[in-house]
Amino acid sequence: MTEDDLRQLIGRVKRGALSRRGFIRRMAAVGLTAPMATQLLAIAGAAPAASQSLPAYTPTQRGGGQLKILYWQASTLLNPHFATGTTNQDASRIFYEPLANWAPDGTLVPLLAAEIPSVENRTLAEDGRSVTWKLRRDVKWHDGEQFSADDVVFNWEYARNPATAAVSIGSYRDIEVRKVDDFTVRVEFARPTPFWADAFVATRGMLIPRHLFKDYVGGTSRDAPANLRPVGTGPYRFESFAPGDIVRGTANTSYYMPNRPFFDSMEIKGGGDAVSAARAVLQTGEYDYAWNLQVEDEILKRLEAANRGRVNVVEGGNIEFIMLNQTDPWNEVEGERASIKSTHPSLTDPAVREALSLLVDKKSIEDHIYGRGGPAASNFLNNPPRFRSENMKWEFSIAKANEILDRAGWARGRDGIRAKGNVRLRYVFQTSINAPRQKTQAVIKQAASRCGIDIELKSVTASVFFSSDVANPDTYTKFWSDIQMYTTTMTQADPQLFMNQYVSWEISSQENKWQGRNIVRWRNEEYDAAFRAAEGELDPVKRAALFIKMNDLVVGNHVVIPVVRRPLVSASLNTLVSPLSGWDSTIAFLYNWHRTA
Amino acid sequence: MTQYVLRRLLIAIPSLLGISVILFTVLALAPGDPFEELATNPAVPPDVRAALRASLGLDDPVHVRYFNWLFAMLRGDWGYSFVSRIDVDDLILQRLPTTLIVIGSSQILALMIALPVGVYAATRPYSIFDQIANTLAFIGFSLPTFFTGILFILFFSIYLDWLPFVYRSDIPGSGLPWFWEHVKQSIMPIAVLGLFQGAAWTRFVRSAVLDVIRLDYVTTARAKGLAERVITIKHVMRNALIPVVTLVALSMPAVFGGAIVTEQIFRVPGIGSLLITAILANDTPVIMAVTFVVSILVILFNLLADVLYGWLDPRISYR
Amino acid sequence: MAGSTLASPTASAGAPARKPVSPGLEAWRRFRKHRLAVASAVVLSVVVLAVLFGPLFWTVAIDEIDFSATLEGPSWAHPFGTDDLGQDLLARMLYGGRISLAVGFAAMAVAVFVGILVGAVAGISRGSVDAALMWLTDLFLSLPQLPLLLLIIYLFRDTLREWVGPEMGVFILIVLVIGSFGWMPVARLVRAQFFSLREKEFVEAARALGASTPRLVIRHILPNALGPVIVAGTIDVAAAIIAESTLSFLGLGFPPDIPTWGRLLFDARDHLDFAPHWALFPGGAIFLTVLTINFVGDGLRDALDPRRVL
């Protein structure tokens, strides 16, 4: 089906000439899944903008007792503009809310906004240069002050000021925010911006009250008393906070949504390890919910057998993948290892890369290491479903890999290791310290050794591997080894920030202090062109096609090898209804959390 | 005596300065940086990261940062946590009570086990009691706390369902039930630490008492017809205490510093877990403050031990 | 030990006169009388021999992954069972035992040697030497180990790897690191004993007879101060084996695919309720080693104590 056909069909749905169900059935006939077809309709404006993917909220009254949540990492601060990690963002989210949340299917749900902007409502400019948010009028801060457009504008001023040192600055410094009236704000972009839902949305959009922070913009930001005693609009009011330990809240009885929140009080306790967190929910029921259980599935299944709780698996965009260095990490060129001016002696050979991709036994890795927490992946860009390519397939075959290498002239030497000329297939494979990663390394090493490829395993402490320390040779951005593996996170339901990891102007090098995002150091003109086109493409269908093309280029050339997707795995008591979204904070839908009898 | 203590205290000042220089240099040279999570977050532009580093003074040369820290410390300003963005002394004070209670009780438990068991075992060497005590002690210190901790959790929390294994520092409520909750949640961490420490100490006490118990003066005391209990307590114990005092003095700073592994397992919000989080996040002001307080305590308690030696054995002279 | 006149063998009066023997032989004779110590020495040698030569007889590869046989209990094919990747635990224990035992003994040796040296020098000298050495001890006690470890390994790993190869390089680093953080208690114990002993009559007597200070220390004071040192040394072996597992966990020790005993125990802990055998064998091995070393230590102590009659 060509793009034109698709467009015509969508037009018919819009005019009412074709039912939505009929459209979905036709799409299914050409191999598109139902969610993807729904997505197509949604992005073309032919479906309700609000998400359909959340469970209904059934309680008719409050007073549900205590909600106890367990995180194995503890939050250290409660100002969303300073919140670096997930734990801090989640803890802030109890009290502060954004204009809209990301639902599990990658669509927006209004929260402090009265509605989601759209072209039909004329709140989304056709040229992609502005977006107008209409705000709810019935929202009060926890101290009784009225929430209004001034608060929204203030957050922009607060975050964009470099002296404030807000980590959310990236979302706010390139936009202009205007107050239209007391309950309307307009966000203006310098260039046509297809992805407009960044500022004021989800994690980076949590709003802090102007009346408490207005004297603490810039250099004095750290002195604001409200940094440690948040006053927000959320379902729970602040009760107490011990940095690095526990944060507690009590029900906000004047919350703007009916019958919410369900619980009288709630707490997030931090620290410890993931396995015992899972035990506290699944085995003893001491806690209601345990966050991010990066635990072997085998263990989780055994704990679930106690029948007290269940494991939640929520799809997002995170992916565990392998990178094959395209530059030479072992020899300095102009004083720089892995310089962009060098080429890797063997990994630039497509045959070697293809062989390596055939040696990753994703099925075993899924079955025996990650389980539900890591389904085998064939794509780099997997979600939301509208961006997922159907063209990539993966295979595990030592025989095929051997054949490809034989054909390409890589012959086995006396020690069984393949070589061509004086280039031998010996690699250093690095990753961070993390039990499943070391096991995956072992599985790949064993397969490679049967194919005449010798792999030396190296593992680096996570706090060193993922640091941006310019002086350290072991960081992942330096990539001074042949192969490396880690999880890259997709923090938004839009792939633009995610897919810039392979554009040539993002190559990580000494010049940019290894801050570039293209760590594998691959250059491809076709990819660059596709990315540039997607940046300004306002047509959602064309834009999705461009991202799919980028995925196929990088995966099809075996520059990276996707290993497993990393959905967020957590545990809840059987009686707890805890709506979760892979595109937003765990706490995003806290207002809907409740207990069933 | 007073002169000796005064002199030692005066020596302590340059010692502490030297220690602080070394600590600071080590931390400055150690790999890693406090903005790890920013580095993996694509939404935070590199220049923001750079500005943040600069605003926290991370780009200044080491000696400049050291003097900034030193002068602030002398003024009573402990620094400002990079990660929590609050003052370090607040962070430490928040965790001090829990640490003192949990780790302190565990050390007391260890002493309460080690002293009687060690002495009794030494008075009857190679008896059944001695053999059992020894074997238990060996088990005690050959199993790491991360292992015994899990074992305790599996048995007392999951199999028997008696004790909670997540420590909560602020249990709501008051009165007896509140106190009982606190006791219940403290039992396992205190026991794990106390038994591990107690096992090793038992061996030291036993060895020290064995050394003394066969000396002639003990035989003399026995010949005088003194009761065995009196001999053990008045004559043997006091002289056997020197190694014990040394070890207790060595472990007292740990009461402040916390126990990293045990705190982690039971989620006890103590100073040990603060330190390990700070180390993993490279939160230098926090690491600096905690380790510096620990070094002050190390010096003080070792001095105290040296003074106690003189009290235990008046022949020891301080010159 | 403190507070006595020079001890004389309490039962020597009635003992039949024996041919004088050298102190070494005498100690050996005394050691042999200590039955537990002899048995322990035998068991310990068996453990050491097993890890040294066991892999020659049990030739299963330590890293052979077999997903069809994961977490199996002991059987003929796998006498110690398998781990969660289906790797043979007996082979891994034999291999890992070499490293764990070597680390344990070597780190103990470093700690005891440095500890005795520093403690003895500080204990016999007074004033500024004692103060300086105690300053050093206090410094080491108050250094935060973790960042220091990171730094040491980061600074020296590559250099050592070039010199002696990756595994040996890491071994040397770990022994040095664990040893250099373990000597302080020994030093303070020895010094405390010296404080007390140096005032004793027998030392005075020896001094009056014109014994030089080194002779005084080595022949007279040190042998009397060894009791707590032997205890500390034997505990240090256990502590080193455990410390190595903590290091491995932090990524500073041996590469994660090298199965030291501590590492095996650590990996097994999450499976404790489903696959207890995984923890049982390494835990048991560490315990057995510690137990036997301690009994040997007790035997040595008694054998070296001239006051005891055996």
Query: Inter-chain contact A497–B168, Cβ cutoff 8 Å?
Result: no
pLDDT bin (cut points 50, 70, 90) of residue A347 is: very high
Q: How many CB atoms lie within 10 A of CB A138?
A: 11
Looking at per-residue pLDDT, the higher value among A414 and A358 belongs to: A358
* A486 and A349 within one domain: yes
Does residue C147 have a cis peptide bond before it, meaning omega lies within 30 degrees of 0?
no
pLDDT of residue C4: 37
* B184 and B249 within one domain: yes
* B100 and B36 within one domain: no
- C65 vs A302, A367, A446: nearest CB: A446
Judged against a pLDDT cut of 80, whether residue A187 lies above it is answered with: yes
Whether B82 is in a domain gets the answer: no
Q: How many domains does chain B have?
A: 2
Say whether residue A464 is in contact with chain B using an 8 A CB cutoff: yes
Judged against a pLDDT cut of 60, whether residue A264 lies above it is answered with: yes
* Phi, psi angle pair for C81, to nearest 5°: 85, -170
* A119 and A37 within one domain: no
Whether B80 is in a domain gets the answer: no
* B141 and B20 within one domain: no
Looking at per-residue pLDDT, the higher value among C23 and A465 belongs to: A465
Query: Inter-chain contact C85–A296, Cβ cutoff 8 Å?
Result: no
Judged against a pLDDT cut of 60, whether residue C310 lies above it is answered with: no
Whether B85 is in a domain gets the answer: no
Domains in chain C, CATH or no CATH each:
97-294 (1.10.3720.10)
* B111 and B28 within one domain: no
Looking at per-residue pLDDT, the higher value among B132 and C219 belongs to: B132
Whether A461 is in a domain gets the answer: yes
Judged against a pLDDT cut of 70, whether residue A511 lies above it is answered with: yes
Whether A530 is in a domain gets the answer: no
* A115 and A39 within one domain: no
- Residues of A with Cβ-Cβ distance to C267 under 8 angstroms: 435
Averaged pLDDT for residues A445-474: 82
pLDDT of residue C1: 38
pTM: 0.81
- Residues of A with Cβ-Cβ distance to C64 under 8 angstroms: 446
* A434 and A358 within one domain: yes
* A330 and A456 within one domain: yes
Whether A529 is in a domain gets the answer: no
Whether A272 is in a domain gets the answer: no
pLDDT bin (cut points 50, 70, 90) of residue B37 is: low
> Using CB atoms and an 8 Å cut-off, which of residues 51-80 of chain A contact chain B?
70, 74, 76-77, 79
pLDDT bin (cut points 50, 70, 90) of residue A55 is: confident
Whether B176 is in a domain gets the answer: yes
> Using CB atoms and an 8 Å cut-off, which of residues 121-140 of chain C contact chain B?
126-127, 131, 134-135, 137-139
The conformational region for residue B143 under phi > 0 = left, psi -120 to 50 = alpha, else beta, is beta
Instruction: Pick the last residue of a domain from B74, B102, B133.
Output: B74
* B67 and B101 within one domain: no
* B137 and B65 within one domain: no
Averaged pLDDT for residues A431-448: 87
Whether A343 is in a domain gets the answer: yes
* A452 and A332 within one domain: yes
* B116 and B47 within one domain: no
Judged against a pLDDT cut of 60, whether residue A383 lies above it is answered with: yes
* B19 and B58 within one domain: yes
| Chains adjacent to B (≥3 CB pairs closer than 8 angstroms) | A, C
Per residue in C269-300, pLDDT tens? 788 877 888 888 888 888 888 888 888 887 87
Per residue in A3-44, pLDDT tens? 677 777 777 776 666 766 677 667 666 656 555 666 566 555
* A343 and A483 within one domain: yes
| SS3 per residue for chain B | CHHHHHHHHHHHHHHHHHHHHHHHHHHHHCCCCCCHHHHCCCCCCHHHHHHHHHHCCCCCCHHHHHHHHHHHHHCCCCCECCCCCCEHHHHHHHHHHHHHHHHHHHHHHHHHHHHHHHHHHHHCCCCHHHHHHHHHHHHHHHCCHHHHHHHHHHHHHHHCCCCCCCCCCCCCCCHHHHHHHHHHHHHHHHHHHHHHHHHHHHHHHHHHHHHHHCCHHHHHHHHCCCCHHHHHHHHHHHHHHHHHHHHHHHHHHHHHHCCHHHHHHHCCCCHHHHHHHHHHCCCHHHHHHHHHHHHHHHHHHHHHHHHHHHHHCCCCCCC
Query: Inter-chain contact B49–A474, Cβ cutoff 8 Å?
Result: no
- CA B246 → CA B106, C188, C190, C231, distances in Å? 18, 7, 10, 14
Whether A518 is in a domain gets the answer: no
Judged against a pLDDT cut of 80, whether residue B167 lies above it is answered with: yes
The two structure tokens encoding residue B205: 């006490």
pLDDT of residue A1: 55
- CA distance to partner chain C, nearest, from residue A442 (Å): 8
- Residues of A with Cβ-Cβ distance to C275 under 8 angstroms: none
CA dist., res. A415 & res. A168, Å (int): 54
Averaged pLDDT for residues B197-226: 82
pLDDT of residue B32: 63
* B106 and B44 within one domain: no
pLDDT of residue A34: 56
Say whether residue A244 is in contact with chain B using an 8 A CB cutoff: yes
Percent of chain B with pLDDT strictly greater than 70? 91
Whether B292 is in a domain gets the answer: yes
pLDDT of residue A194: 84
- CA distance to partner chain B, nearest, from residue C131 (Å): 8
Instruction: Pick the last residue of a domain from B26, B48, B74.
Output: B74
Query: Inter-chain contact C188–B207, Cβ cutoff 8 Å?
Result: no
Whether B270 is in a domain gets the answer: yes
Q: Using the 8-state DSSP alphabet, how is residue C99 labeled?
A: H
Sign of the four-CA dihedral B224, B230, B232, B233: negative
pLDDT of residue C133: 87
* B219 and B106 within one domain: yes
pLDDT bin (cut points 50, 70, 90) of residue B40 is: low
Percent of chain C with pLDDT strictly greater than 90? 3
Pairing mode of beta strands A454-460, A289-290: unpaired
Q: CATH number of the domain that A393 lies in?
A: 3.10.105.10
CA dist., res. A289 & res. A280, Å (int): 9
Percent of chain B with pLDDT strictly greater than 90? 3
- CA distance to partner chain B, nearest, from residue C254 (Å): 18
pLDDT of residue A209: 95
Provide the residue range defining the domain that includes B27: 2-74
- Residues of A with Cβ-Cβ distance to B32 under 8 angstroms: 463-464, 467, 469, 472
Judged against a pLDDT cut of 80, whether residue A65 lies above it is answered with: yes
Contact C301, B209 (CB under 8 A): no
CA dist., res. C235 & res. C212, Å (int): 33
Q: CATH number of the domain that B169 lies in?
A: 1.10.3720.10
* A336 and A461 within one domain: yes
Judged against a pLDDT cut of 70, whether residue B134 lies above it is answered with: yes
Give chain C's mean pLDDT.
78
* B279 and B227 within one domain: yes
Averaged pLDDT for residues C20-40: 77
- CA distance to partner chain A, nearest, from residue C254 (Å): 10
- Residues of A with Cβ-Cβ distance to C270 under 8 angstroms: 275, 295-296, 299
- B23 vs C143, C184, C307: nearest CB: C143
* B181 and B272 within one domain: yes
Residue-wise burial string across C244-261, b where 16 or more C-beta atoms lie within 10 A, e elsewhere: bbbbbbbbbbbbbbbbbb
* A474 and A341 within one domain: yes
Whether B84 is in a domain gets the answer: no
pLDDT bin (cut points 50, 70, 90) of residue B276 is: confident
* A472 and A407 within one domain: yes
Whether A41 is in a domain gets the answer: yes
Averaged pLDDT for residues A195-223: 89
Judged against a pLDDT cut of 50, whether residue A49 lies above it is answered with: no
Provide the residue range defining the domain that includes A421: 319-492+559-566
* A377 and A425 within one domain: yes
Whether A240 is in a domain gets the answer: no
Per residue in C70-123, pLDDT tens? 777 788 888 888 887 788 888 888 988 888 898 888 888 888 899 999 988 888
Per residue in A465-477, pLDDT tens? 877 667 778 888 8
* A6 and A124 within one domain: no
Instruction: Pick the last residue of a domain from B44, B74, B104.
Output: B74
pLDDT of residue A327: 94
Q: How many domains does chain A have?
A: 3
